[in-house]
Structure 1
């Protein structure tokens, strides 16, 4: 499939025309009114599961109701007034729609296998998901033939559809590592001698991941999304990874693709669908922000960090001073955020998690998803415009690549929020939080809390390479990615925003090195 032309021009009239067209289609259709069922027939599944692969021309704006503001009742209204509790999520009824369509399959686990989770007995996780688990640890760093043999063993144990029935030979297994993944090692699996076997995606969890991602919660989210038919199918899990559907006809977006008006417009519509269609549990609505929850947990984890590393990453001399500013910023957001009602958010819409499938946009990888004010998700997406994870130095960002006001307006037209100006202000105010989140992620992912590596020479690593073109690379990789340098880069955005928001000011004898992305950016009075 040919990628979009780099000279795509998408005018306001084109966007307005598309919006006018989509608002009049399928008004009576019930397909786009998702609802979670405790027990459903296969026909109900096919009719009522919401598909993120639907054409833009099939998504009715009237059904999404973008003309109303994002008030407390919006999610309930758009999901047929169904709000789920954790107890309902843990029900053990299984949706069965035929072998090819099953995402979570009935547990008929052999006695030699046992489900795994954060708890030793595995009961919590198995009660949430009817999905196969095998107590197996996969080492992806071994020699390729051994790695292939181990993969086939797990496929057989998990009884992954169609694959496990074949007489698989490790020499015929084609393993392609997908670059640009920084949390996990990700592989596409194909089989040489059988074209009827759909490719699989193998996800092997990365190092230090237990302190970063709550896998039990992630799988609860995947269960919910499967009922809405959002995201790839999940075929089975093992101790340190899982097998998923690989979309063979998909093209991963590039750093340049997301900047094109037409694609940006379509991405915004996909994000709006996630925010307004996926229901939250009562617990999630009370929690309000998974990003703040993770930031708080991660701050506790790094509280004992070596002062030299803290200074290198944040430019703060001590953790107490750093925390004081974080709390001032928290209060600032509480007082100034216009749209606080939480939505279901993806939280990691970098270009590598956006696919083009038959000219439509598909969002994948929901590891960091959960409840947030919608501006957090959009602010994170725009911040990712500055990154090139396939350059020779993927840790660096280019502040000049942050979207212009015109590009943001194009995106917000697709999102179609009632008061886009208030949402725009929220996006700018939230930007420091989402970049703080990834700054802390980098510290944890670096492993410095475990072995205190690079504590002596860390200051010598900094280079003044702002907005330089670093050339083509092989893609970011969890084994080689310089997480501390990445964290320092992310925190320069945080510092710049804190300065522009009035959260901090340069000290008399100290000037912070920061990225000020858009001076005079707030369109309304900051004093409210």
Structure 2
């Protein structure tokens, strides 16, 4: 879930319309400010440096993206951040193409370009969702993105930030659709890319281990950390006066947490007996909308599977290999552009043959990274072991996104939206049902 980039081909440039939304002009520290003179009154934006990135002290309002003021304010931010290629005097707000990307749930995503001026690069504009601050540490995310792109060559370059969003590198690509996940070769490429990400040294991204972050002799894993951190906000959201009694009964948060704790104890026992799934730096949100296929290679000598690029690392964190794979398999059951985007269809879960195709590609690429050799019987044994580990970690994905969905509903509840664009509480209900169903199948009582 979350932060998707999807259905790009269906999005067309939006005409600019007037709106009362505008950016406040800030001239608090002229020595550190950048300003841009536009056809409308001058906008001066103060900039500083946060987490190693240039930050513009300005805000954009996603709901006003069709307005002329939005275009003016956005251009002022791009110039203040000194985004490469966007200093040309020929670039004016009227020439901007601002295309909203459908399907973004955690954030609002836009592609920004200036087609009539040569050599002005297309950018990705991300405006954070109002509830995302309860789910994500933006400071940690930005530091992680900088390390991943600059040192590990994963994800887009971040050009700079503003008060409620950031500007990122744009890849010439198409976003995958649900049917792409079922393509045998594409699935192998995704598995190979996941194996490469899992080879990243956790300490490079997260920093050295400390006593407080130890989970036994391993890292504190993200799925446990997230559920624990999000639970207080989830309780507050469910306490909102507009939440019905029927929803309270369905999303019984106390009952959920009781089952969650019981499940974690069971997991700990299983891993002690059968062996633990390797802890890695994981993406944790490899749904189709976060996977791009490049239309032209970034490097001519790049291997075939590098035409797949995974984006949106907001939920990336240390986790078991099996959790990241299980979470990806659950995303096979989603279609976020359907008439019921909040519902998952369990019948779309990958078959045993499709799972084994993924496992073999993942394990083969993991071995090539480790420069190890392995026999066919060894591969068969490891595929069976991975299948079992994915099975036992599968409910954890449902559990995490259950709590996430409840927290994400906060904004629409406070706005009094009776029919939100995406029904987060219904999504949480669907995930809750999956969590309880899988616990029963595993015999967790």
TM-score w.r.t. length of structure 2: 0.76
Equivalent residue in structure 2 for 1:498, among 427, 439, 443 = 439
Would the aligned equivalents of 2:91 and 2:117 in 1 still touch at CA under 8 Å? no
Would the aligned equivalents of 1:375 and 1:426 in 2 still touch at CA under 8 Å? yes
User: Which residue of the partner structure matches residue 324 of structure 2?
Assistant: 377
**Structure 1 unmatched runs, 5+:** 1-107, 117-125, 462-478, 505-528
Cα distance between partner residues in 1 of 2:81 and 2:412: 35
SS in 2 for 1:132: strand
- TM superposition shift of 1:251: 1.2
1:282 aligns with 2:211: no
Cα distance between partner residues in 2 of 1:403 and 1:165: 49
What per-residue deviation string (whole Å, max 9, x for no partner) do you get for residues 106-144 of structure 1?
A: xx954863548xxxxxxxxx3xx3211011111122242
The RMSD of aligned alpha carbons is 2.5
1:430 aligns with 2:393: yes
SS in 2 for 1:389: coil
What per-residue deviation string (whole Å, max 9, x for no partner) do you get for residues 245-300 of structure 1?
A: 1112x111110001111000110000000001343332387343112101111112
Give the number of the structure whose residues are more often strand, by fraction.
Answer: 2
Cα distance between partner residues in 2 of 1:393 and 1:190: 32
Would the aligned equivalents of 1:314 and 1:488 in 2 still touch at CA under 8 Å? no
User: Which residue of the partner structure matches residue 138 of structure 1?
Assistant: 60
1:321 aligns with 2:255: yes
Would the aligned equivalents of 1:288 and 1:373 in 2 still touch at CA under 8 Å? no
Cα distance between partner residues in 2 of 1:448 and 1:383: 26
- TM superposition shift of 1:452: 9.3
Quick one: structure 1 residues 255 and 296, their matched pair in 2 at CA, closer, same or farther if it must change by over 3 Å? same
Would the aligned equivalents of 2:146 and 2:158 in 1 still touch at CA under 8 Å? no
What per-residue deviation string (whole Å, max 9, x for no partner) do you get for residues 34-79 of structure 1?
A: xxxxxxxxxxxxxxxxxxxxxxxxxxxxxxxxxxxxxxxxxxxxxx
What per-residue deviation string (whole Å, max 9, x for no partner) do you get for residues 401-448 of structure 1?
A: 000111000000111166222221111111111121111111111117
User: Which residue of the partner structure matches residue 300 of structure 2?
Assistant: none
Would the aligned equivalents of 1:313 and 1:485 in 2 still touch at CA under 8 Å? no
Q: 1:448-463 to 2 correspondence within 5 Å?
A: 451=414
User: Which residue of the partner structure matches residue 13 of structure 2?
Assistant: none
User: Which residue of the partner structure matches residue 271 of structure 1?
Assistant: 194
- TM superposition shift of 1:450: 6.6
User: Which residue of the partner structure matches residue 166 of structure 2?
Assistant: 242
Cα distance between partner residues in 1 of 2:245 and 2:310: 34
- TM superposition shift of 1:449: 9.7
1:361 aligns with 2:285: no
1:413 aligns with 2:360: yes
- TM superposition shift of 1:234: 0.7
Would the aligned equivalents of 1:439 and 1:490 in 2 still touch at CA under 8 Å? yes
Give the number of the structure whose residues are more often helix, by fraction.
Answer: 2
SS in 2 for 1:179: coil
User: Which residue of the partner structure matches residue 54 of structure 1?
Assistant: none
1:303 aligns with 2:266: no
TM-score w.r.t. length of structure 1: 0.64
Quick one: structure 1 residues 493 and 229, their matched pair in 2 at CA, closer, same or farther if it must change by over 3 Å? same
User: Which residue of the partner structure matches residue 36 of structure 1?
Assistant: none
SS in 2 for 1:141: helix
Would the aligned equivalents of 1:288 and 1:341 in 2 still touch at CA under 8 Å? no
SS in 1 for 2:103: coil
Q: 1:197-212 to 2 correspondence within 5 Å?
A: 197-212=120-135
Q: 1:94-113 to 2 correspondence within 5 Å?
A: 109-110=32-33, 113=46
Would the aligned equivalents of 2:47 and 2:80 in 1 still touch at CA under 8 Å? no
Query: What number of residue pairs does the alignment pair up?
Result: 362
User: Which residue of the partner structure matches residue 231 of structure 1?
Assistant: 155
What per-residue deviation string (whole Å, max 9, x for no partner) do you get for residues 442-470 of structure 1?
A: 1111117973958xx9xxx9xxxxxxxxx
Cα distance between partner residues in 1 of 2:163 and 2:430: 33
